[in-house]
Structure 1
Amino acid sequence: MKKLILSAAIVLGSLTAMNAQAQEENATPAEQTTQTEQAAPAAEAAPSEQATVAQEVDAYTEIKTEEVPAAVTEALKKAFPDAVLTKASVNDKKEYQLEVKVDDKEGALYADETGKWIEKN
């Protein structure tokens, strides 16, 4: 009987993990950012890790889209020709957060001042 209950618990846990992964893969970039920001405080992480996440979110200062370096705008045009830059922000490391819109989808992209893309979770 114990083995049956344990097996059922393992199967249910696996299905839950697979469902969460499938939803994350199907989410748009804007939804993934929101899910990541919501999941970070709920995660069972050390307080210092949670503080780091909060600092990363707050570290960007909004700038005018005209102030984005030419290398970054050229990289955006090359990688996403149909993208429209709606908002831009920069942090102390000269990393740029670009809020872009392609058709009806919106999301955030990150690049350094030379136009090299940065992957952020």
Structure 2
Amino acid sequence: MKNLAIATVLSFVGITAFANVESPELDVDNATVIVAQDFEEIEVSSLPEAVSKAVEKNYPTAKIDKAYKNEKDQYKLDLSLEDGTTGTVYADAEGNWIDM
């Protein structure tokens, strides 16, 4: 009887192993392109006036803590609000917000 139980379990395991559907692999190359944007830190004072004005207009209580720039003249801005919340926004050189 014990052998019958073991044989049943082994049969079940063998069947489920063949029935396993392969899950698609994560495309790491695309994820890396989205995450790594090659931004280099710059002085906040060196931001284009259009970017600074866009922050003043859309986030009047925000302070720009850090600024970064990439080779496409896109800017990553670390902002902090008066209530203590922080966030990151992205803009182009003309002060238009972009999604990254």
Distance (whole Å) between structure 2 residues aligned to residue 85 and residue 97 of structure 1 = 10
- Percent identity over the alignment is 31
SS of the residue aligned with 2:36? helix
When Rg is computed on C-alpha atoms for both structures, the one with the higher figure is 2
Distance (whole Å) between structure 2 residues aligned to residue 76 and residue 117 of structure 1 = 10
TM-score by length of 1: 0.58
User: What does residue 118 of structure 1 align with?
Assistant: 98
Residues 30-59 of structure 1: CA deviation (Å, up to 9, x unaligned): xxxxxxxxxxxxxx5213213313532xx0
Q: Which has the higher helix share?
A: 1
- For structure 2, the residue ranges without an aligned partner over 5 or more in a row are 1-24
Q: For residue 87 of structure 1, report the CA deviation from its aligned partner.
A: 0.3
- For structure 1, the residue ranges without an aligned partner over 5 or more in a row are 1-43
Listed as ranges, the matches of 1:1-121 within 5 Å are 44-56=25-37, 59-103=38-82, 104-120=84-100
Give RMSD over aligned pairs.
Answer: 1.3
TM-score by length of 2: 0.69
- Matched positions, count: 75
Letter in 2 for 1:52: V
